[in-house]
Structure 1
Amino acid sequence: MEKFLFIIREDLSKLKQWNEEERYHAIREMDKWVKTLIETGNYVSGDALRISGSYVNKGQVLSDGPFIEAKEGISGIMFMEATDLPNAVSLAQTCRFVHTGEMAIEVRPLMGVKDIREFGDEGRTGH
């Protein structure tokens, strides 16, 4: 099995306008989907992100969020296991919110880079 990151993208301005009941309804719906992924053994972990945040680059720290001048932003992440990229994509397509167009999921394979501490301080040879 390979590991994948699901980057969940939604209209953040719309999410800001939801009342408490709308938020909890969406959470319940996502929970149903996640439970099916747990049952199939594909779900590893994940979490929703708060809408607030900061954007950091070389010259500045902006406090208006990590989604500057973008309608769509990242609302959550999930780590998944799948046999390959097409299998991971098919898992993402089972989300009800993807079907309704309320959400997009970017599926990215993880590189599987070992913890850098395993390499030690020695330079790499033969490269």
Structure 2
Amino acid sequence: MEEYLILMRLDLLTKESQPSPEQLQVYMKQYREWVNLIVKQKKFVSGTALSTEGRVIQHKTLVTDGPFVETKESLAGFITILAESFEEALEFAKSCPILLGEGNSVEIRKVMGIHTED
């Protein structure tokens, strides 16, 4: 089995796009149910949400406020899963409830290990 990263992007900045507290409860319930389905299949590795605050370190260690995006779509969080193939990981990603929101997107990437223990 291989590890895959499912990145969830949505509009975290536009006031009109933010859900009401009631809508947020519904969305979080849908998200928890989706993750629990992956957990029950013993394919969930980890996951977390990300804040909108941060810093960007560029060439020669120049530090700036950010991250700032060119579009309204921001990286909101991610989960790491196990899957037998890219196609299986894709099926998990396609059922992510984030995709129910207009303009939202999910990206899937295979995790490639570059670090090895000595």
Unaligned segments of structure 1, at least 5 residues: 120-127
Q: Deviations over 1:20-78 (max 9, x none)?
A: 44434322221111111111222111001112222221263222x32333311100011
TM-superposed deviation, 1:8: 1.0
Contact 1:5 1:108 in 2 (8 A): yes
Decide which moves more: 95-104 or 72-81: 95-104
Partner of 1:124: none
Partner of 1:108: 109
Count, aligned residues: 116
- After superposition, the Cα gap between the structure-2 partners of 1:83 and 1:101, relative to the gap in structure 1 and judged at 3 Å, is farther
Question: In the alignment, is residue 3 of structure 1 matched against residue 3 of structure 2?
Answer: yes
Unaligned segments of structure 2, at least 5 residues: none
Partner of 1:61: 63
Contact 1:93 1:99 in 2 (8 A): no
Distance 1:76 1:46 in 2: 7
Distance 1:33 1:87 in 2: 15
TM-superposed deviation, 1:18: 4.0
| TM-score, length-scaled by structure 1 | 0.76
- Higher-RCO chain (CA-CA 8 Å, sequence separation at least 6): 2
How is 1:43-122 mapped onto 2 (pairs within 5 angstroms)? 43-58=44-59, 60-63=62-65, 65-115=66-116, 118-119=117-118
Larger Rg: 1
- Cα RMSD for the two superposed structures: 2.3
